[in-house]
Amino acid sequence: MIPIVLASVLIACALGCGTPPIEPVTTRVVNGVDAKPHSWPWQISLQYERDGEWRHTCGGSLIAANWVMTAAHCINNKLSYRVYVGKHNLVEEEPTSKAILPETIIVHEKWNPIFVAFGNDIALIKLSEPVTLTDHVQLACIPPAGTLLPNLYPCFITGWGRLYTGGPIADKLQQALMPVADHATCSQPDWWGIAVRTSMVCAGGDGIVAGCNGDSGGPLSCKNSNGVWEVHGIASFVSGLGCNYEKKPTVFTRVSAFNDWIDLVRRQSHVLLFYSK
């Protein structure tokens, strides 16, 4: 994750989204641990090509059979990307996984790459072909527009980001419990202050568990009252003082602030595709 120094609900709430066939192990997590393989089946690895090799750069969430949601700061228009679905171990060949090239990538029009804290750190990737949903590849649910989680609501971050500040990225998908820090808490002067906006959601801040470089774009997944997992956040930034600096929780784009934008992008893409045929 890059340090700060640096249409409705139905979009992704198709039948079966947010209900992984392989239930995550969500107890007794203190720090990042290996996730149970394929227990977060909407998690993707966004990879870029350099010197003939594909390298992991960010996470993301599969929100439809041919759409992925990630962070705007993960996208560089000078690079070529692919999306890997069904991955658990980045360094092993896995029959459950598949790499798919993007058809198009849409970055939020108000995203400012110079000032991450201005918000709008969201992008959508339309895949060149739809994925086949299996026990290892499932859709994420998006929460209802405007949803705000209460302070200390239990959520989980997942990703292949650095295991510690300046350290190596993970081979196996990691997960960690990161309770929400509500806006009133996260915007306190000794926390993030005015740097955190209402279109963001904070999680963590205990100085132990946090996102880090490579987790960007990935989901903050939270189980709702019906037992369905929803992606409430897109990993956006951490403190330049360190990934797990106390009272500087990981900051996520709040997905429920962008339902309309997600709807609009998908509708416009469909119209453009229709008229191009």
* Residues annotated catalytic, as ranges: 73, 121, 216
Cα–Cα distance, 2 to 74 (Å, whole number)? 9
Name the amino acid, one letter, at 70: T
Residue whose C-alpha is closest to residue 127's, from 174, 183, 64: 64
Element of type H or E holding 186: helix 183-186
Cα–Cα distance, 116 to 235 (Å, whole number)? 12
Strand order of the sheet with strand 180-181? 33-34, 174-177, 156-159, 219-223, 229-237, 250-254, 200-203, 180-181
